[in-house]
Amino acid sequence: MPRTGRRPITAATLLAALCVLATSCTGQSAGTASDDPKADVTLKFWHGWNTPAEVKAIEENIARFEKAHPNIKVEVTGDITDDKVNQALRAGGDKAPDVVSSFSTDSVGKFCNSGALADLNPFLLKSGIDKAKVFPKTLLEYTRFKDDQCTLPLLHDAYGLVYNKTAFTAAGITEPPKTWSQFVADAQALTKSNGDSYDQLGVMPTFHGYETTPMRLVAQWSPTYFAADGSSNLAKDPAFAKMLTAQKDLVAKLGGFEKLERYRAGFGDEWSSAHPFNKGQVVMQIDGEWRAAMAEEAGVGFEVATAPLPVPDDQVDDYGKGYLSGTIMGISSTSRKQNAAWELVKYMTTDTGAVVAFANSIHNVPSTLAALESPDLKVTPALKTFMDIARHPKSNTTPAQPDGGTYQLTFQDFAYRFEKGDVPDLQAGLAATDRQIDTDIAKAK
């Protein structure tokens, strides 16, 4: 999702946010909300989008909602970080938002577990909405924690491969790689080294390379993050060690960690026209559905194409799967206008016309089954790739936990150290990471 306002999330930020939300919020529960949704009311809606096109798309959606609900006015505040949302939900009061959206599905477990956001199940029930028939299964998984559906999906993101087809043709490569070994071979063939730097790099494989995170890559191995008893499963599931080993091998084959990181230091901003993919500095980019559209809007001088990410060689039958994430939307548990707030959430997350219009405006994958099949959806060949990834039965996401995304940051920090060569024993390191994750989750509970 093209969101220039997205900030890097650090472990310290998440832990601080968790402390802010450690005290259960008080307010109307979903089952006791008594405000009249037909009364004249003004709602405060906070979101994180901040580019002109995104802000315009939000304003247009809100305008359509207000036309359909003339008694409800919506005060919209954009460019809001999760930190600000967390603090405001904890404080409550007249200045706090009634409705919030967040780019981070990692926050769902924390939002639900702390009671910061109201459980939406009673609202869905009152409205006669069967969520299993409205939303894809994976989206419901990342918008709830256990049985608490404290958020709903508001568009979603699928991750795949965006590539410079012109460079592929020049290198004699006729199709995108389907297996990891093909991916490695293509990355090497597309790389043009120049001493301590590169004239062109097949792909930036290091975990600091924008969307090339451990979570995106390991999704191709279909991992199980937690065992049946709830304990961290990184050391026991071979998927994690296999991914880390394959990624480190690719780093070595493309010149080594230090050389790659020096090259990466010269990259432009991820959300600007100076993105390294746009500049031809990298040929293949692991990214979301927005990247192809943003490259074309930047006026690149080459043909842009998309494909699913490659899969391990022994999982070739699963080609087409990928990592799924998205934007979430919920109602403050301290809001005294929850029934009216539900009308806004219901409209933006379940109304097919609203979802399709918003998806068309910001080049995202729709988040409802009906919207995915809508004839009004503008489906480019590039977007179709990501829609197919979103529909793939083996596509997966990171599970919600009460510590939010802290467990993912712990895994990511370990991956940073491993790719750099600072981990002498991979299995022992994964086991230690498991113990840290279990400790953090126990504290959060």
What is the reported pLDDT for 93? Answer: 84
**How many domains are contained in the chain?**
3
DSSP 36-103: -TTS-EEEEEE----SHHHHHHHHHHHHHHHHH-TTEEEEEE-S--HHHHHHHHHH-STTS-SEEEES
- Please enumerate in sequence order all residues whose Cβ is within 8 A of that of 90, keeping only pairs 6 or more positions apart, or say none: 20, 21, 23, 25, 116
Does residue 74 fall inside a structural domain? Answer: yes
What is d(CA 242, CA 314) in angstroms, rounded to the nearest whole number?
A: 12
Mean predicted confidence (pLDDT) in 49-75: 93
Confidence of residue 32 (pLDDT cuts 50, 70, 90): low
> Are both 181 and 310 inside the same structural domain?
yes
Does residue 311 fall inside a structural domain? Answer: yes
Residue 405 has pLDDT above 70, yes or no: yes
Range in 33-42, 235-244, 284-293 the model is least confident about: 33-42
Tally Cβ neighbours within 10 Å of residue 264.
17
The shares of helix, strand and coil residues in the chain, as percent rounded to the nearest 5, are 45, 15, 40
> Are both 305 and 345 inside the same structural domain?
no
> Are both 375 and 257 inside the same structural domain?
no
Residue 234 has pLDDT above 70, yes or no: yes
Residue 81 has pLDDT above 90, yes or no: no
Residue 30 has pLDDT above 60, yes or no: no
> Are both 365 and 424 inside the same structural domain?
no
pLDDT above 70: percentage of residues in the chain: 93
> Are both 289 and 349 inside the same structural domain?
no
Does residue 401 fall inside a structural domain? Answer: no
Short-list 142, 432, 176, CA closest to 307? 176
What is the reported pLDDT for 275? Answer: 97
pLDDT tens-digit series, residues 160-180: 999 999 999 999 999 999 999
What is d(CA 375, CA 310) in angstroms, rounded to the nearest whole number?
A: 30
pLDDT above 90: percentage of residues in the chain: 76
Does residue 391 fall inside a structural domain? Answer: no
Q: Which residue segment(s) compose the domain that 414 sits in?
A: 406-444
What is the reported pLDDT for 416? Answer: 98
**Final residue before a domain boundary, out of 318, 338, 369:** 318
Does residue 390 fall inside a structural domain? Answer: no
Mean predicted confidence (pLDDT) in 191-215: 96
Q: Are 160 and 322 in contact (CB under 8 A)?
A: yes
DSSP bridge partners of 156: 326, 365
> Are both 177 and 297 inside the same structural domain?
yes
Residue 22 has pLDDT above 80, yes or no: no
Confidence of residue 113 (pLDDT cuts 50, 70, 90): confident
pLDDT tens-digit series, residues 131-150: 999 999 889 988 999 899 99
Mean predicted confidence (pLDDT) in 391-410: 90
- Please enumerate in sequence order all residues whose Cβ is within 8 A of that of 258, keeping only pairs 6 or more positions apart, or say none: none
Residue 445 has pLDDT above 80, yes or no: no
What is the reported pLDDT for 53? Answer: 84
Does residue 394 fall inside a structural domain? Answer: no
What is the reported pLDDT for 415? Answer: 98
What is the reported pLDDT for 10? Answer: 42
Short-list 54, 84, 65, 30, CA closest to 334? 30
DSSP bridge partners of 361: none
Confidence of residue 111 (pLDDT cuts 50, 70, 90): confident
Does residue 90 fall inside a structural domain? Answer: yes
Across 189-296, the runs of DSSP E, i.e. the strands, are 192-194, 197-203, 282-288
Residue 7 has pLDDT above 60, yes or no: no
**Final residue before a domain boundary, out of 275, 298, 318:** 318
> Are both 352 and 305 inside the same structural domain?
no
Which two tokens mark 135? 């939303």
Mean predicted confidence (pLDDT) in 30-53: 85
> Are both 167 and 153 inside the same structural domain?
no
**Final residue before a domain boundary, out of 318, 339, 368:** 318
Mean predicted confidence (pLDDT) in 220-246: 98
> Are both 106 and 240 inside the same structural domain?
no
> Are both 265 and 372 inside the same structural domain?
no
pLDDT tens-digit series, residues 414-425: 999 999 999 999
CATH number at residue 38: 3.40.190.10
Mean predicted confidence (pLDDT) in 420-436: 98
Residue 332 has pLDDT above 50, yes or no: yes
Does residue 261 fall inside a structural domain? Answer: yes
> Are both 176 and 314 inside the same structural domain?
yes
Which two tokens mark 85? 């949302």
> Are both 40 and 102 inside the same structural domain?
yes
Residue 31 has pLDDT above 70, yes or no: no
